[in-house]
Structure 1
Amino acid sequence: MTARPLIGLTLDAEQPGGYSKLPWYALRQNYFDAITAAGGLPIALPHDAALADDYLDRLDGLLVTGGAFDVDPTLYGGGPRHETVVLKEGRTAFEIAILRGALRRDIPVLGICGGEQLLAVALGGTLIQHIPDSVPDALAHEQPNPRTEPGHEVALTPGTLLSRIVGAPAMAVNSAHHQAVDRPGEGAIVNARAPDGVVEGLEHPGYRFCLGVQWHPEYTVDPRDQAILDAFVEAARQTGQGRAAAA
């Protein structure tokens, strides 16, 4: 029986209040369930940038999750911070450290929502700080209907990794973001766009598996979402097998 590849998932962080009177971590259960369903062994990654390499010594794949916050524009030369931008400096410091480390080691990476945006920044790209101020006639990317339902469709770029994984020209996706990728970074390519032109996915063909999507495939609002998670976990499995063979 083939061992499950070890997949690290980044956590969200919250200040005291609600669940605990002390600072606490959180992540929706369906992130973990989706990785398990794809054949992976998910583990949670607390925010300690100094431990990034120790985590990466053990991980076969890295999933950078989303959250209700933004990437600091100073990380990509984005100019003054828009009034809508919310930061979580500790989380971002850890995520950028472990993400850049994973890229250096060519460990498979999947960025979801804010994780896709951070992936663009790690690759040298830039972001749109607030879609309504930058995209004329933009869709409601903060969809008013539940996240368990699609908000709009995306068109996939033919010939990309994402297109090959999905096997279709378009997907229905959920949408929960006010920022988006502007430039994907040197060597990276856009693999999905919304009807208003907003970037909805990116990838970098120079890595074993380097993929980001703006939506949340862990909800499987489109039946093809599972294929994205399956492909990521399979790439991580191959990484783990290669590591074991070299040991």
Structure 2
Amino acid sequence: MTSRPAIGVTLDCEDAGGYSAFPWYALRRNYADAVTAAGGLPLALPHEPDLAEAYLERIDGLVLTGGAFDVDPALFGADARHPSVTVKRRRTQFELAVLRGALQRDLPVLGICGGMQLLNVVLGGTLIQHIPDAVPDALAHEQPTPRDRPGHDVALVPGTHLSRLAGCLRLKVNSSHHQAIAQLGDGCVANAHAPDGVVEGIEVPARTFCIGVQWHPEFHVSTADAALFTAFIEACRHD
């Protein structure tokens, strides 16, 4: 059997309560399932910024997952924080360290939802802090339907890496976010847009594999979602 590349998958974190009376890490199972189905070996990454380099020595690619929190607006130079914004400082501190290290090594990176937003910020871009306040006639990007069903369409940009691996120019996607890209980061190109103009995907053509999507492909709402994970895992292989 072809060896499975080791894929670092970032975790979410919660304070005491609910699942445990003590602070706990969390990861929806389908993140790991999607990596496994595509041929990777998922490895969960606890939030230890000082160990980021040690993790990077052991992984072949990085998945930045989403979560019910936001990138701190201070990281992209905002003067104020919208009331809707919530942050998880320790998680973001770790993800900044491991993402910057992955980019320095040109390791394949797949950013999902908030992971795409952090990728854009690390590359020098900015974010819309709250879509309903900034985008006229915005779609319901926090879709009311269950996450395992599509919420809206996106149009893929012809000629982009994402459009080539998807094999089409329009996808139905699931959507759960209230922030979005404002200014693209250095070297980034938009590869997908929602009907209201919101950027739904980015990529960095100069890198081996560096794609971010605003939706949640780990749910495999479309065949293109599985193709995205397959292409990512293939880029992580050394053999």
TM score, norm. by length of structure 2: 0.99
Residue number in structure 1 paired with 2:65: 65
- Give the CA RMSD over aligned residues: 0.7
What per-residue deviation string (whole Å, max 9, x for no partner) do you get for residues 174-193 of structure 1? Answer: 01000001112111100000
4+ residue stretches of structure 1 with deviation over 2 A? none
Q: Distance in 2 between matches of 1:221 and 1:210?
A: 21
Deviation at 1:224, TM superposition (A): 1.4
Residue number in structure 2 paired with 1:236: 236
Deviation at 1:127, TM superposition (A): 0.4
Superposed, which structure 2 residues align to 1:165-176 within 5 Å?
165-176=165-176
SS in 1 for 2:31: helix
Deviation at 1:223, TM superposition (A): 1.8
Is 1:6 aligned to residue 3 of structure 2?
no
Task: Assess if the C-alpha contact under 8 Å between 1:78 and 1:127 holds in 2.
Answer: no
Percent identity between the two aligned chains: 65
- The gaps in structure 1 that reach 5 residues or longer are 242-247
- The gaps in structure 2 that reach 5 residues or longer are none
Superposed, which structure 2 residues align to 1:36-185 within 5 Å?
36-185=36-185
Deviation at 1:2, TM superposition (A): 1.4
Residue number in structure 2 paired with 1:191: 191
Q: Distance in 1 between matches of 2:191 and 2:140?
A: 20
Q: Distance in 2 between matches of 1:154 and 1:22?
A: 40
Residue number in structure 1 paired with 2:16: 16
SS in 1 for 2:182: strand
Deviation at 1:20, TM superposition (A): 1.0
What per-residue deviation string (whole Å, max 9, x for no partner) do you get for residues 116-137 of structure 1? Answer: 0000011111000000000000
What per-residue deviation string (whole Å, max 9, x for no partner) do you get for residues 184-232 of structure 1? Answer: 2111100000000000000001111010000000101112110000000
TM score, norm. by length of structure 1: 0.96
Q: Distance in 2 between matches of 1:184 and 1:52?
A: 26
